[in-house]
Amino acid sequence: MHAEPQPASLPLPGGRDDATVRLHPLLVATGKGPEAWFHRQEGRLAGLRAIGVGSDTREVPYQAFLVEHPGAGRFLIDTGFHPSVAVDPKANLGRVGARVFSPEMEASDAVPAQLRARGIEPSEIKTILMTHLHGDHASAISEFPGATFLISQQEWDEASTVSRPATHGYVRRHFDHAFEFRTIDFGGSAVDSFATFGRGVDVFGDGSVRLVFTPGHTLGHTSVILRLKEREALVAGDAIYTMKTLEDGHKPYRMEDEHLFERSLREIQIYAKETPDALIIPGHDMAAWRKLSPVYE
């Protein structure tokens, strides 16, 4: 590995008292996947159905998020797919990743192109919060060499050392760059609880952006809570693929740690109950995506 992450020094600069942010959801690609992958079926054929044998398919959104902070400026949550995925998914994602993600996209769908369409140069993005390092969230890291990437120490350790990374959703060349990676140890003493989440950090020190630890999908997965003018938004990442999982607890087929997944899911479910006006965005739910507005203030 060429990347040498260092511990994050929080809060990051730019915090403002009573700051609120603007949120822009970005659809980077779509795909199709087996229903039984996203909502596990029981029985001896569960594994076959999860890879598509005898299972219905569902349309899947792949997303990233642009956030505007009044003091810290613009930053991203995840990077989505690299622009080259529009031309040759296998070259960027590998054979396994291209088959699993089955992305359909145009080069103009990639985050850098969407930023430029808004009059923003990718070089203006100085901070990127990574929910985790799976290919559909981290493929375009190389497009932002001037950014600081904030990620959990647990996620970095797993992604950089696990054997057979492709079978765990990782492509190491996506994040093996001599960039500014800064890690947060959610097992350390510098984290606090927030709302219903046992472990979280205040990114800018003003309460506007919080990373909360939601492991299970991966061992170091994080979600992001944003303070908007009138309510909060929870960018759940893959802690919940769909609103169905949030509503009735129906788990996906594959999780790195099912016990941790259930604990994180329960924290999100209690948060949803106790914060009924919060906007909750799951990781791969096309019906939920279609309900989103272009911008939230």
CA distance 121 to 124: 5
Phi and psi at residue 206, in whole multiples of 5°? -120, 5
Phi and psi at residue 180, in whole multiples of 5°? -90, 90
pLDDT of the residue at 197: 98
pLDDT of the residue at 22: 98
CB within 8 A of 55, min separation 6: which ones? 34, 35, 36, 37, 41, 49
159-199 pLDDT, tens digit each: 999 999 999 999 999 999 999 999 999 998 779 999 999 99
Mean pLDDT, range 201-207, rounded to an integer: 97
Residue 91 — pLDDT band, cuts 50, 70, 90?
very high
Of 88-97, 142-151, 220-229, 253-262, where does mean pLDDT reach its minimum?
88-97
Residue 99 — pLDDT band, cuts 50, 70, 90?
confident
CA distance 69 to 202: 14
pLDDT of residue 284 exceeding 80, the answer is yes
Q: Which of 162, 277, 154, 156 is nearest to 216 (CA)?
A: 154
Average pLDDT, the chain: 96
CA distance 234 to 195: 12
In a 13 Å sphere around the CA of 245, the CA atoms on its Cβ side amount to 32
pLDDT of the residue at 35: 92
Of 64-78, 85-99, 114-128, where does mean pLDDT reach its minimum?
85-99
0.75 surpassed by pTM: yes
* For the chain, domain boundaries: 6-290
Q: Are strands 180-184 and 192-194 parallel, antiparallel or unpaired?
A: unpaired
Q: How many residues does the chain have?
A: 297
pLDDT of residue 52 exceeding 90, the answer is no
* Domain 6-290, CATH class in plain words: alpha beta
CA distance 5 to 183: 7
Mean pLDDT, range 15-39, rounded to an integer: 96
CA distance 66 to 24: 5
